[in-house]
A and B are shown apart, each in its own frame.
Chain A
Amino acid sequence: GQNIDQPTEMTATEGAIVQINCTYQTSGFNGLFWYQQHAGEAPTFLSYNVLDGLEEKGRFSSFLSRSKGYSYLLLKELQMKDSASYLCAVMDSNYQLIWGAGTKLIIKP
């Protein structure tokens, strides 16, 4: 079966750096997405990786290793507004998105 694994919850301190990991086993691979979802709100797109390596976008970076079935989202200079759930999703060979359950990130002052 297809599976996306990410930690259920993480805690970090304002101003620090946090890395959220995602491992996947899917039928084919057409890209990996990270979405941010604040409590009670809709998910919003953060990043897309289809080739190995690091994609940097401001304070957020996303890394992909296709051979290891592994990705991480790196958040730098954490702010209180970064408290949210972070969803990892993989697009399989049928171009369908398979979603992880999400990682709830708690930022403490």
Chain B
Amino acid sequence: IAGITQAPTSQILAAGRRMTLRCTQDMRHNAMYWYRQDLGLGLRLIHYSNTAGTTGKGEVPDGYSVSRANTDDFPLTLASAVPSQTSVYFCASSAGTGYDTGELFFGEGSRLTVL
């Protein structure tokens, strides 16, 4: 069982380019999340989806978009990358919210550098 798979693991791209980070889970979890992690800061929520077909904005959504066409996939798109989006991005999932412990399962992360 793979759990959560993210791709790419690492990427360097030029400012202004479009980039999609992929995330797939095989646990049939309802909720999925995208976080960014920067040195000295806590994980910050970018976007989330409580169930397939729905998405919501997190703490730092600007410059990012997501879609949730099905239960398994939750891609994150940077329409026009900027250097401040240099970060480590983690995709996560949970069985649900509010009716269980809310334990998150994380992917291995995608390290993105925007030059």
The answer to whether A binds B is yes
Residues of A within 8 A of B (CB): 4, 8, 30-31, 33, 35, 41-45, 48, 87, 89, 91, 95-102
**Can you give 10 A-B contacts (C-beta < 8 A)?**
A4-B42, A30-B98, A31-B102, A42-B90, A42-B109, A43-B104, A45-B105, A97-B45, A98-B42, A100-B42
Residues of B within 8 A of A (CB): 40-45, 58, 90, 97-98, 101-109
Nearest residue (CB) in B for A45 is: B103
Of the candidates B44, B90, B97, B102, the one whose C-beta lies within 8 Å of that of A43 is B90
Q: In the complex, what's the smallest C-beta–C-beta distance from A18 to chain B, in angstroms?
A: 21
Give the complex CA separation of A95 and B98 in angstroms.
6
The answer to whether A95 touches B108, judged by C-beta atoms less than 8 angstroms apart, is: no
Known: A31-B102, A43-B104, A102-B42. 5 other contacts (CB 8 A): A33-B103, A42-B108, A48-B101, A87-B42, A89-B43
Q: In the complex, what's the smallest C-beta–C-beta distance from B25 to chain A, in angstroms?
A: 13
Give the complex CA separation of A99 and B102 in angstroms.
14
Q: In the complex, what's the smallest C-beta–C-beta distance from B48 to chain A, in angstroms?
A: 8
Residues of chain B with a CB closer than 8 A to A35's CB: 104
Q: A41-B108, A42-B90, A43-B90 are in contact. Are A99 and B43 (CB under 8 A)?
A: yes
- The winner among B44, B45, B97, B102 for most chain A CB atoms within 10 A is B102
Q: A30-B98, A95-B98 are in contact. Are A101 and B41 (CB under 8 A)?
A: yes
